[in-house]
Amino acid sequence: MNPQQAYAPGRDPYFPDHGDARYRVHHYELDLDYRPVSNRLSGSARLSALAGTVPLEEIALDLAPFRIQRVLLDSRTVRYTHRAGKLRIRPAKALAPGAAFTVEVRYTGNPKPVRSPWGGLGWEELTDGALVASQPIGAPSWYPCNDRPADKASYRVAITTPSPYTAVVGGRLLTRTTRASSTTWVYEQPAATSTYLVTVSLGKYTAVPLTSSGPADERRPPVPQTAYLPARLLPEFTEDFARQTRMMRFFEETFGPYPFGEYAIVVADEELDVPVEAQGVATFGTNHLDGARTSERLIAHELAHQWFGNSVSIADWQHIWLNEGFAKYAEWLWSEHAGGRTAATHAAAAHQQLAVLPQDLLPADPGQKLMFDDRLYERGGLTVHALRCALGEDAFSHMLKDWTRRHRHGTVTTADFTAHAQQYAAAPLGDLFDAWLREPSLPPLPRPTGPHHPADPQANPLPQD
324 is in an annotated binding site: yes
CATH class of 205-210+223-306: alpha beta
* pLDDT at 281 > cutoff 60: yes
301 is in an annotated binding site: yes
Listed residue (102, 105, 112, 98) closest to 142, CA to CA: 112
Query: pLDDT class for 212, splitting at 50, 70, 90?
Result: low
pLDDT of 9 reads 53
Query: Which residue in 277, 302, 331, 378 is the catalytic one?
Result: 302
Beta pairing partners, 60:
88
pLDDT of 447 reads 85
Integer Cα distance of 323 and 414 in angstroms: 11
* pLDDT at 5 > cutoff 80: no
* pLDDT at 458 > cutoff 90: no
Measured CA distances, 454 to 331, 341, 363, 389, 457 (Å) = 19, 15, 28, 10, 5
Biggest alpha carbon–alpha carbon distance for the chain: 70
Q: What is the pLDDT of residues 81-96, one digit of tens each?
A: 999 999 999 999 999 9
Mean of pLDDT values over 152-177: 98
Q: For the whole model, what pTM was predicted? A: 0.93
What letters, b where the CB count within 10 A reaches 16 and e where it falls short, cover 423-432? ebbeeebeeb
Query: For the domain 1-123+130-197, what is the CATH superfamily, name and number?
Result: tricorn interacting facor f3 domain (2.60.40.1730)
248 burial (CB, 10 Å; 0-12 / 13-18 / 19+) is buried
- Which residues are CB-contacts of 356 (< 8 A; sequence separation ≥ 6)? none
Q: What is the pLDDT of residues 100-156, one digit of tens each?
A: 999 999 999 999 999 999 999 999 999 999 999 999 999 999 999 999 999 999 999
Mean of pLDDT values over 426-452: 91
Integer Cα distance of 429 and 416 in angstroms: 13
pLDDT of 218 reads 52
Mean of pLDDT values over 70-84: 97
Mean of pLDDT values over 276-280: 96
Domain boundaries, the chain: 1-123+130-197, 205-210+223-306, 313-459
pLDDT of 10 reads 67
Query: pLDDT class for 336, splitting at 50, 70, 90?
Result: very high
Has 302 been annotated as catalytic? yes
Query: Which residue in 263, 377, 378, 424 is the catalytic one?
Result: 377
Integer Cα distance of 212 and 244 in angstroms: 10
3-class DSSP string for the chain? CCCCCCCCCCCCCCCCCCCCCCEEEEEEEEEEEEECCCCEEEEEEEEEEEECCCCECCEEEECCCCEEEEEEECCEECEEEEECCEEEEECCCCECCCCEEEEEEEEEECCCCECCCCCCEEEEEECCEEEEECCCCCHHHCCCECCCCCCCEEEEEEEEEECCCEEEECCEEEEEEEECCEEEEEEEEEEEECHHHCCEEEECCEEEECCCCCCCCCCCCCCCEEEEECHHHHHHHHHHCCCHHHHHHHHHHHHCCCCCCCEEEEECCCCCCCCEEECCEEEECHHHCCCCCCCHHHHHHHHHCCCECCCEEECCHHHCHHHHHHHHHHHHHHHHHCCCCCHHHHHHHHHHHHHCCCCCCCCCCCCHHHCCCHHHHHHHHHHHHHHHHHHCHHHHHHHHHHHHHHCCCCEECHHHHHHHHHCCCCCCCHHHHHHHHHCCCCCCCCCCCCCCCCCCHHHCCCCCC
Query: pLDDT class for 450, splitting at 50, 70, 90?
Result: low
Integer Cα distance of 5 and 25 in angstroms: 11
* pLDDT at 326 > cutoff 90: yes
> What is the dihedral angle through the alpha carbons of 44, 227, 314, 272, rounded to the nearest 10 degrees?
-90
- Write phi, then psi, for 67 (nearest 5 degrees): -85, 120
* pLDDT at 462 > cutoff 80: no
pLDDT of 152 reads 98
Q: What is the pLDDT of residues 221-271, one digit of tens each?
A: 899 999 999 999 999 999 999 999 999 999 999 999 999 999 999 999 999
Has 377 been annotated as catalytic? yes
CATH class of 313-459: mainly alpha
239 is in an annotated binding site: no
Listed residue (448, 462, 421) closest to 333, CA to CA: 462
